[in-house]
Amino acid sequence: MKASSLTVTLLALLLAVLIGSCTDKAPGPVAGLGSLSVKSYVAIGNSLTAGYQSNGLYESAQKYSYPNLIAGQINASGGTTTFVQPLWSGAGTPIAGTNIASRYVIISLVGPVIGPAGEPAGSPENLTYQAPYNNLGIPGAFIYDFLNARDSNTCYSALGGVKNPLFTSTLRGIGTQFQQMRLLRPDLVTFWLGNNDVLGYATSGGAVSVTAPGLFDLLYKASMDSLRAAVGTSASIVVANIPDVTSIPFFNTIPSQGLVLTQAQADGLNLATGGVFHFVAGVNGFLALTNSGVKKLNKNDYVLLTCPQDSLKLAGWGSQKPIPNQYVLDSAEAAMARITVAAYNSTITNYAGTHNAVLVDINSLLARLAASGLTYAGQELTSDYVIGGVFSLDGVHPTSKGQGLIANEFIRMMNSKLGTNLPYVDIGSLPGIPAPLSKYQFAGRSVPYYPPDALRALQIQLY
């Protein structure tokens, strides 16, 4: 039997999301802060808050971080806050142990090839800024880190032997996220932590442990108790909950049931496997190694975006040999992730209420996005990888438009609960995914056209 090949590749990723945008203005009320005074705004979080995009942190993406967008709308409404971020120049943060930028780009239309392109890494631009940063989002931060991490040696991941240098470059010896927030004396704090406490488990195919829900509850309570005590009762706190991690493109781009066979090929695989998995002509689940052994994947299992497609195409993964466990989140592991997220969100809801904090339901927002997409100011947004407009090339972090979507959900709840009249961010004005496509031409177009449904059925065809 010959090696398999992709019948539908990721070429559809390059649909006009790369340049297209809606020109309609986003709806919103007349600008105003109501009775709220915002002179100092601090954002606490992880990579989502930092503006991390396409596997890297770099200024051209950071300026569209949702807290920076919120700060802009606050100042447009009469606020006087200065919002400073820990910016990275050029192509941004490096691959660990190298001087090569970690960010993903579209390297080639053939394949296509997406990943680090060998760009020289950038460097921190404002390390000498004489105050804590207002954006204290640190990629890789866990709930533990808010009160405890002072640098790369004391962050949560360092307890497991993985030092995160972004803690050192962001915190700069001034103190923890909590201590620096307190120094800024904010009258508005947004707080979004907890994603990484479950995301690492899911993106590793269950190899990395979650933060146990009981421990998460203790750490979140301590964080909220300390936060409210530090800012006092007059300051506003806005917290966000945790989305279902399996709703993002990292888990939904390569379908678990993407093996297409002829009858002869199905018969051959049934003979080779002793008929255990009952392959049929047409669409089948891939074979994969899971914690319970080798199984034929079903619709409740997930193949991770990190699974090497060349191995699916050329090495017989998923048919002649099982996909390795680290590239699969099986149904039991996915259920575990969802149970954990539900427990975390119960905790977040509870302590938001206890501390009179506004709750932003990002979980429901991304669930709606995944289920049916969203139309915003005339623009269709979905959770599809790249072509949906919301998620960047790493399949986890938002694009600039995705950051705008998140900012607007924060703004919606602030307007509802705090009496503000902040205008919504015009998502149509935000850029899509940058890519060096100007040299490619097709029928007079600067960006090739691909059928919008082409990516929705990525499959492996044996021949």
Which tens digits make up the pLDDT trace of 211-258? 999 999 999 999 999 999 999 999 999 999 999 999 999 999 999 999
pLDDT digits (tens, 9 = 90+) for 85-103: 999 999 999 999 999 999 9
Note the pLDDT of residue 161: 95
pLDDT > 70 in the chain, percent: 86
Co-location of 121 and 224 in the same domain: yes
Confidence of residue 31 (pLDDT cuts 50, 70, 90): confident
Does 354 reside within a domain?
yes
Name every residue whose Cβ is closer than 8 Å to that of residue 325 and which is 6 or more positions away in sequence. 205, 206, 207, 288, 289, 290, 291
Tokens of 343: 């427990």
pLDDT at 455: 35
Taking 80 as the threshold, does the pLDDT of residue 66 lie above it? yes
Strands, sheet with 41-45, edge to edge from the N-terminal-most edge strand: 135-137, 41-45, 188-192, 236-240, 358-360
Q: Is the same domain home to 225 and 372?
A: yes
Confirm whether 182 is domain-assigned. yes
Give whole-number Cα distances, 144 to 154, 219, 454, in Å: 10, 6, 42
Domain boundary among 330, 348, 377: 330
Split at pLDDT 50, 70, 90, the class of 30 is low
* Residues 182 and 306 reside in one and the same domain: no
Q: For 136-187, what is each residue's pLDDT tens digit?
A: 999 999 999 999 999 999 999 999 999 999 999 999 999 999 999 999 999 9
Mapped to the 3 state alphabet, what secondary structure does the chain carry?
CCCEEECCCHHHHHCHHHCCCCCCCCCCCCCECCCCCCCCEEEEECHHHHCCECCECCHHHHCCCHHHHHHHHHHHCCCCCCCCCCCECCCCCECCCCCEECCCEEEECCCCEEECCCCECCCECCCCCCCCCCEEECCCCCCCHHHHCCCCCCCHHHHHCCCCHHHHHHHCCCCCHHHHHHHCCCCEEEEECCCHHHHHHHHCCCCCCCCCHHHHHHHHHHHHHHHHHHHCCCCEEEEECCCCHHHCHHHHCECCCCEEECHHHHHHHHHHCCCCCCCCCEEECCEEEECCEEEECCCCCEECCCCCHHHHHHCCECCCECECHHHEECHHHHHHHHHHHHHHHHHHHHHHHHCCCEEECHHHHHHHHHHHCEEECCEEEECCCCCCECECCCCCCECHHHHHHHHHHHHHHHHHHHCCECCCCCHHHCCCCCCCCCCCCECCECCCCCCCCHHHHCCEEEC
Evaluate if residue 296 carries a pLDDT over 50: yes
How far is Cα 74 from Cα 53, in angstroms, rounded to an integer? 24
Overall domain count for the chain: 2
Band (pLDDT 50/70/90 cuts) for residue 6 is very low
Of all residues in the chain, the percent with pLDDT exceeding 90 is 79
Indicate the residue among 330, 354, 383 that finishes a domain. Answer: 330
Query: Do 275 and 196 share a domain, yes or no?
Result: no
Mean pLDDT score of the chain, rounded to an integer?
88
The residue from 330, 348, 365 where one domain ends is 330
Whether residue 222 is found in the same domain as residue 370 = yes
Q: Is residue 32 part of a domain?
A: no
Domain with 408 in it: what CATH number? 3.40.50.1110
State whether 185 and 109 are in the same domain: yes
Peptide bond between residue 67 and the one before it cis (omega within 30 degrees of 0): no
- 376 with 362, same domain: the answer is yes
Same domain assignment for residues 240 and 276: no
pLDDT in tens, 188-200: 999 999 999 999 9
157 in a domain, yes or no?
Answer: yes
Contact 312, 4 (CB under 8 A): yes
One domain, residues 69 and 94: yes
169 and 230 share one domain: yes
> Has residue 422 been placed in a domain?
yes
Residue 292 lies inside a defined structural domain of this protein: yes
116-122 average pLDDT score: 95
The pTM for the full model equals 0.88
Residues 179 and 282 in one domain: no
305 residue type, one letter = L
Mean pLDDT in residue range 323-338: 97
Residue 238 within a domain: yes
Asked if 347 and 370 sit in the same domain, the reply is yes
- 425-447 pLDDT, tens digit per residue, is 999 999 877 644 323 323 333 23
Domain that holds residue 359: 41-245+332-436
* pLDDT over 50 at 349, yes or no: yes
User: Beta strand 302-303 with 328-329: parallel, antiparallel or unpaired?
Assistant: antiparallel
Among 100-109, 126-135, 434-443, the range scoring the smallest mean pLDDT is 434-443
Residue 91 lies in a domain: yes
d(CA 433, CA 120): 20
